[in-house]
Each structure stands twice: as C-alpha cells, then as structure tokens.
Structure 1
Amino acid sequence: MQKVINFLAVTTFFVVAVSFIAPKKAKVQWMSVEEMQEAYIKTPKPILVDLYTDWCGWCKVMDRETYQNEAVANYINQNYYPVKLNAEFKKPIQWDGKIYSYNSRYRANDLAVYLSQGNMSYPTTVLLPSINAQPAPLPGFFKPGELESPLKYFGDGGYKTKTFPEFLKTFSKTW
C-alpha cells in the first residue's frame, strides 16, 4: 500500500510540476546584417528587415505579438533571412558592397533611410526578394494575419509572376 501511495505522490508531483513549465515560444532567428550577407552569398533567398528603435513601444508589441507567433516565426525562419536593425545605429554598416553611415538629419543610419525609402516610422518591416532589389517597406504595427499575405507574396515567389493585387485575388489566409 505504501508503494501505491508513493507512486501516486510522485506522479501527482510530476504532473503538477510539468503543468507550470511554460511552452517554448517560437522565435524568429534574427541575424545581423553581416550574418545575413554571408548566408545570402551561399544560398540566396528573400530578406526581411525589422527596422526598430529602442524607444519604440509598438516595436516591442510587434516583437511580442507578431514575431513570436508560431506560424509567423516558422514561416520567416524557413523562407527569409531575417535581420533586426536598430534604425538609429550610429556605426557604419555595409550592405551589398556599399557603406551606410549615421545621418544626423534623419537621426538614423542611412541604411534605414534607404530601406524605408525615407519614411522614418517605426516599426517598419522591409521585404526584399534579393539583396539588391528595391526595398518594399511596410510601416507600422502588423498583427500576424495582416503580415501573412506580404510575407507569402515574396517568400513563395508570387512577386515573380503577379502584381500584389493580382496575388491577393487568389490568396487564402491560414494564420
């Protein structure tokens, strides 16, 4: 009888202890600009740049609610080189053979100015089908479902054969 009680006690303790362990959240595997460029040389694929600032509240919300969403994180990790870039970074950054420096007029690095096409609002999600392509900046906060169609337009290669409005006509949301 003592063995049964001990077994039940240990089992109950184990079940209770496991129930307090939080499930592991999906995370985007962010890269630096340098890491992305090294990987891109070996295997080109689309690039996603998260332009943020340290003081931006909506950037933090997007990190927590959108980029930690399992479907979003898994899709980005599989189909993009994700780069997190502080727009106010003051040291020079090399991107595709060009050096970008801090721009005091914009209070941001010129790479952020280039990627956002001068629209300095945060957060801004920038999608590029290739490292030397025209950036497609998406300013503002996006919920996971709102980010799905532009991510898949570039990530699945729809941009090669259709305009975005044409792509949307046959697109079905899954997130």
Structure 2
Amino acid sequence: MKQLKYVLVFIAFTSLQGFAQEINWLSLEEAVALQKKAPKKIMMDVYTSWCGPCKMLDRNTFHNADVVNYVNKNYYAVKFNAEGNDVVTFKGKTYSNPNYKPEMANRRNSPHQLTSFFQVNAYPTIVFMDEKADLLAPVRGYQTATQLELYLKLFKKDEHKMMDTQEKFNNYYAAFKPEFKD
C-alpha cells in the first residue's frame, strides 16, 4: 500500500511537470534589452487572435517539452499579435497599427506596421532574428515540433550562413535527423 502511494505521488508530480512547461514569452522590447546583456537569437511568434493554425501552433508545438526546453535555453521568445494595437519601439523607430479598430479585436483587423518590416504576409509566421535583432528569416505556416526543430537548430548553430542556394538548404533538410518528439 505504501509503495502504491509513492507511485501515485510520483505520477501526479511528473504529470504536473508536463503541463507546467511553458516558453518564457517576452515583448520584443524586453528581448532586445536582454540581448544587450546576454546575446541570444530571437524567435518571434507572429500570430492573430482569429487564426486557427496559430492556435494549433501555440497549443501543440509551443507546449511540446522538447521545444519549450530548447527555446528557453537558446532563444529569447517573443509573442507578437500581428493585428494588435501595441506601440513598439524597435531599432530606434516606433511602430503601431494606425488602422486598428477595437471592435474588430477578435476578427480580422489591419496589420501592424512591424509585419511589413519582418516580411510577414501569412499567419502564423515564426520570425528568427540574430543576436543584434537583425532579421534572419520568416518561417511561414504551422510547424510541428520536429519541423520547427530544423529551424531552431539551423539558426542557433549559424548553419544558415552556409546555405546560399536552395540546393544547399534541400541537402541540409534531407540530411537532418530530428530529435524532438511530436
């Protein structure tokens, strides 16, 4: 009976740990400020409130234990509402959503000015930036944990710098062995 009690406590504890794992989301300004103290790349989730694949990305991929651990260790993670009303200061300029309509907050709204800056034209898009907050690449569309792993490791290890052709990327993609579990 005593052993059963310990087993149940262990199961409950490990189950709660699985649910408690989350990416440490920041604002863009917070991430850029942290880069000055401890340089890391930035991964920015650009989403909208009405986007189904955005919600799937958040629920499935961004709560995957492998993704959570890797992102929290190697990146500053930013969550950015592409149609929101935030005023953002980035690289000495102020960006906003001048055509934002509050009555449309949970429906399609006008895009934030930062979406153009980061070449976002579809949702979700995951924007990767280097240690100086310069754009590396936008990755469009829903990504599973194993699909996102490729980009997380590609940019973390600066392997993208060796890929000046589509063929080189295709070869990297074909040779990539994912370790994350979906």
**TM bin (shorter chain):** 0.7 to 0.9
2: CA distance between counterparts of 1:123 and 1:57?
9
Greater mean deviation of Cα atoms: 78-87 or 158-167:
158-167
Change (3 A) 1:74 1:13: closer
Aligned to 1:113: 116
For 2:11 and 2:176, how far apart are their aligned partners in 1? 39
Counterpart of 1:138 in structure 2 is: 139
2:97 alignment partner AA: Y
2:17 alignment partner, SS class = coil
Question: TM-score, with normalisation over the residues of structure 1?
Answer: 0.81
- Root-mean-square deviation (CA), in Å? 2.3
Which AA in structure 1 matches 2:143?
F
State how far apart, in whole Å, the 2-side matches of 1:46 and 1:166 are: 24
Query: How many residues get paired?
Result: 165
User: 1:86 aligned to 81, 84, 102, which one?
Assistant: 81
Question: Cα 1:17–1:43, aligned 2, differ >3 Å: closer, same or farther?
Answer: closer
Contact 1:90 1:108 in 2 (8 A): no
1:69-118 Cα offsets, whole Å, 9 max, x none, are 11111111111111001112213201122211114397121112322x14
Which letter maps to 1:98? K
* Correspondences of 1:1-175 after superposition (within 5 Å): 8=1, 12-13=4-5, 15-16=7-8, 18-20=10-12, 22-25=15-18, 26-104=21-99, 107-115=110-118, 117-119=119-121, 121-163=122-164, 164-165=169-170, 167-168=172-173, 170-175=175-180
- TM-superposition CA deviations, 1:6-40 (whole Å, max 9, x none): xx3x6545544554452313321111112101101
Q: Contact 1:45 / 1:79 at 8 angstroms: preserved in 2?
A: yes
Query: What's the % identity of the aligned pairs?
Result: 33
Q: Give ranges in structure 1 of 5+ residues lacking alignment.
A: 1-7
> Against the structure 1 CA distance between its residues 76 and 16, is the aligned structure 2 distance closer, same or farther, given a 3 Å change threshold?
closer
Q: Which amino acid aligns with 1:24?
A: Q
TM-score by length of structure 2 reads 0.78
- Distance in 1 between residues matched to 2:91 and 2:25, nearest whole Å: 18
Say if 1:75 and 1:29 are closer, same or farther in 2 by CA, change over 3 A: same
Instruction: Give the number of the structure whose alpha-carbon radius of gyration is greater.
Output: 1
Summarize the Cα distance change of 1:11–1:149 in structure 2 as closer, same or farther, 3 Å threshold. Answer: closer
The one-letter code sitting in structure 2 at the alignment partner of 1:89 is G
SS at match of 1:102: coil
The gaps in structure 2 that reach 5 residues or longer are 101-108
